[in-house]
Structures are given as structure tokens and as C-alpha cells.
Amino acid sequence: MDKKQIITVINSKPKGSFVSLEGERPAKVKKSCLDLIVKHSVFQMRVGHSYYNQATTKAAHESGEREKYSPEKLWHEKSELGEAFRKHKKNGTEYVSGQPTGNKAVATWFRNGQKVTFSDVENDLLASEKKTEKTDNMFYCLENLTEAR
């Protein structure tokens, strides 16, 4: 799919519905790694609704568990592409923004074009590629998306 088709599919979804996405991007690797390591991901997210209107988000802000950021503090702003998109304030990169659905993402790893296991590339990856903590909001670079359903 091209970017225009992906944007159309995401924007055609009713607010708050799930969208299945597929993407591929270069992995974040240590400086000593000379190989090209690529992560291919298949995942779902809930898109097109207001993050601040979710019950869990409201409760976390009211309890002080999470800070409510003003637009000036955020690194992104709303995009002209649609409700589910955000634009980086400094470099203009477009992202799909949404909430995880609870369904497990599937990652496939490649080293120099050959499919490998996570354990084969784990020692070459930066710590940020190995995060396991749950998040309540996620962003995926539009340029890296290959499919939307």
C-alpha cells in the first residue's frame, strides 16, 4: 500500500475503532553493529479519538499518577492528515497516534535481509528496542507503515 491508501484506510475508521497496521523500520542498534537490522511489526491500535477523554487517562491525571501536558510541552501537534495523526513540531515527521488494544504485536527481525530470531539480534540492539513496559499511547511513523486494515 502507498501512504495515501494507508491514510485513507485509517481515516475511514469510526472514531475509537481498532485498526490493524503493519510496518517495517531499521532497528536502533549499537554503534559497533555494522549489520542492517530491520524490525517488521504487525500490531493493532485504537485510533481517532481523544486520548484525554479516556476514563483511564482522566483517572491517572486526577490521581496525579500521570502529568497532563500542555500543548507547549508536547513534541507533537495535530496533523492535517486526520484525527489519528500527529506531526513532529521540529522536523515535520508524520505519525499515527493511538492506544494499544491489548492484542500482542508480532515482531519479525531481519539481519542483512535474512530472517533471524530476536535472540540473534538482541546483543546488537539498544535498550530502547527491548522495552517491555506497557504504554497507554503509542506513535508509529507513517513513513514506516506498509499496510493498514
Indicate the pTM of the whole model: 0.84
Q: Give the total number of structural domains in the chain.
A: 1
List pLDDT tens digits, range 45-62: 999 876 667 777 778 778
DSSP count for the chain of H helices, then E strands: 3, 9
Domain that holds residue 25: 3-148
In the predicted model, is pLDDT for residue 19 greater than 90? Answer: yes
List pLDDT tens digits, range 64-109: 877 777 777 788 888 999 989 999 999 999 999 998 888 889 999 9
Contacts of 3 (CB under 8 A, 6+ apart): 142, 143, 145
